[in-house]
């Protein structure tokens, strides 16, 4: 594959996630006009309820399936396109999704300012997907590779059939699957409850409480950029995983200890502790560490990148489903306890990173 063809294919793959980022926030950004059109309240819009709830469920499930297909196809393709920069290629997916999340509110604000139809934002996403689909059909993809060594196809295929699935690789695969759940749960919980925690527990005004989420989002974008620049060039993915999980744990502990005597002893204002902690959590927990885990897992099982991606993101999908259930139960006790629950999750993430680093230090465990 030529360099030009590789770039064209890469652009098409990333453009899908730019639109995906827009889709994540498009309902929330148009909640007012949609509630008027559908004759429901804001809760109805958030549940995507039209006059027929069965239709809403159908398209909700369809969207989930589409997202799964997109992940299981894109991540392996990018790792084959850039075998020497797999972690960076995967992390850039989150960067493009974040760009989409930033662009869509600007577009909606522009439409509202010029009093244009809100549906142009939806049609823009549809047009981008249609155009990208036509381009993507013409793109070429590289053949599957299993390691850095180039050898004749017959010998390579023979060797691959006799690669043993060692107990260490099985343990590593299981731990990384758990990490897929933990990495999603850590930042998903913060993004959902940070505003409520700021207003109800730290007793910030609503403007400052909402600002914590904005600072967290800025931190996540910066974290993606920094991770993409440093990983593999300077720091290996497994070491970056450990660094990110430890930093996010420390930041979560600092955020959770704000209502206690600890802040008084530090002589740092509560607002600044919350602000810095939110930014650091965004950089570390939501700055691409989940994609790093997938990269390590795919390198462990290079012959099944698509299957591994499906398993890994199934675990992360379970987190986005179960965490709201857990937090709904914990919130009956108190919002403060929810943050301690996130500290516990982040602690498990650190343990997973340590296990992965320990097992992957043996070269034969990773190279397959």
pLDDT digits (tens, 9 = 90+) for 40-84: 665 555 555 447 567 766 776 777 678 778 888 899 899 989 988
pLDDT-based confidence at 366, cuts 50/70/90? very low
H or E segment at 8?
helix 3-29
Within 8 A by CB and 6+ apart from 163, the residues are 303, 368
Angle at 364 between CA 353 and CA 170, to 5 degrees: 55
Of 178, 195, 175, 196, the residue nearest 186 (C-alpha):
178
Q: How many helices (H) and strands (E) does the chain have?
A: 16, 0
Burial of 210 (0-12, 13-18, 19+ CB in 10 A): middle
- 102-118 pLDDT per residue, tens: 788 888 888 888 988 98
**pTM for this model (two decimals):** 0.77
What is the average pLDDT across 264-274? 79
89: nearest Cα among 255, 210, 237: 237
* List of residues 6+ apart from 42 with CB closer than 8 A: 31, 35
- Residue 342 or residue 195, greater confidence: 342
CA–chain centroid gap for 352, Å, is 18
The 3-state DSSP class for residue 176 equals helix
Query: Residue 148's pLDDT is what?
Result: 45
pLDDT value of residue 264: 65
| 310-315 contacts at long range (C-beta below 8 A, 24 or more positions apart) | 310/68, 310/71, 310/72, 311/177, 311/180, 312/176, 312/177, 312/180, 313/68, 313/71, 313/72, 313/180, 314/68, 315/177, 315/178, 315/180, 315/181, 315/184
The mean pLDDT value of the chain amounts to: 83
Pick from 345, 348, 349: nearest CA to 330: 345
Q: What is the pLDDT of residue 368?
A: 39
pLDDT at 153 over 60: no
The Cα 274–Cα 190 span in angstroms is: 12
> How would DSSP label each residue in 332-345?
TT-HHHHHHHHHHH
Neighbours of 308 (CB within 10 A): 24
160-366 maps to which CATH number? Answer: 1.20.1250.20
Q: Hey, which residues does 235 pair with through a beta bridge?
A: 231
Sorted by where each begins, the domain ranges of the chain are 3-144, 160-366
Give the SS3 label for residue 317: helix
Model confidence at 193: pLDDT above 60? yes
Strand partners, 231: 235
């Amino acid at each position: 594959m030529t360099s030009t063809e590789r770039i064209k294919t890469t652009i098409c793959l990333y453009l899908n996630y730019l639109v995906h980022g827009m889709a994540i926030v498009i309902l929330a950004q148009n909640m007012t006009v949609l509630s008027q059109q559908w004759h429901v309240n804001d809760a109805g819009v958030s549940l995507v309820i039209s006059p027929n709830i069965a239709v809403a469920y159908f398209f909700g499930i369809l969207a989930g399936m589409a997202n799964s297909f997109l992940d299981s196809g894109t991540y392996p393709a990018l790792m084959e396109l850039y075998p020497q920069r797999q972690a960076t290629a995967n992390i850039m997916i989150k960067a493009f999704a974040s760009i989409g999340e930033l662009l869509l509110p600007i577009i909606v604000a522009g439409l509202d300012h010029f009093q244009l139809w809100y549906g142009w934002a939806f049609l823009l996403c549809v047009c981008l997907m249609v155009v990208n689909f036509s381009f993507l059909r013409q793109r070429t993809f590289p053949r599957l590779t299993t390691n850095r060594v180039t050898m004749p196809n017959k010998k390579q295929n023979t060797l691959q059939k006799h690669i043993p699935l060692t107990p260490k690789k099985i343990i590593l695969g299981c731990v990384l699957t758990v990490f897929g759940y933990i990495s999603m749960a850590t930042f998903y919980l913060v993004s959902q409850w940070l505003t409520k925690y700021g207003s109800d527990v730290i007793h910030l005004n609503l403007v400052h409480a909402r600002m914590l989420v904005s600072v967290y989002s800025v931190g996540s974008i910066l974290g993606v950029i920094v991770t993409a620049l440093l990983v593999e060039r300077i720091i290996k993915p497994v070491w970056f995983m450990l660094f990110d999980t430890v930093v996010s744990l420390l930041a979560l502990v600092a955020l959770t200890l704000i209502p206690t005597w600890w802040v008084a002893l530090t002589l740092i204002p509560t607002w600044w502790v919350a602000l810095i902690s939110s930014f650091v959590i965004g950089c570390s927990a939501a700055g691409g560490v989940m994609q790093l885990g997938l990269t390590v897992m795919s390198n462990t099982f290079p012959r099944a990148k698509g299957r591994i991606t499906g398993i890994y993101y199934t675990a992360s999908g379970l987190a986005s489903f179960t965490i709201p259930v857990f937090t709904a139960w914990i919130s009956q006790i108190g919002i403060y306890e929810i943050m301690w629950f996130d500290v516990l999750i982040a602690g498990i993430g650190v343990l997973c990173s340590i296990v992965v680093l320990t097992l992957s230090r043996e070269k034969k465990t990773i190279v397959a």
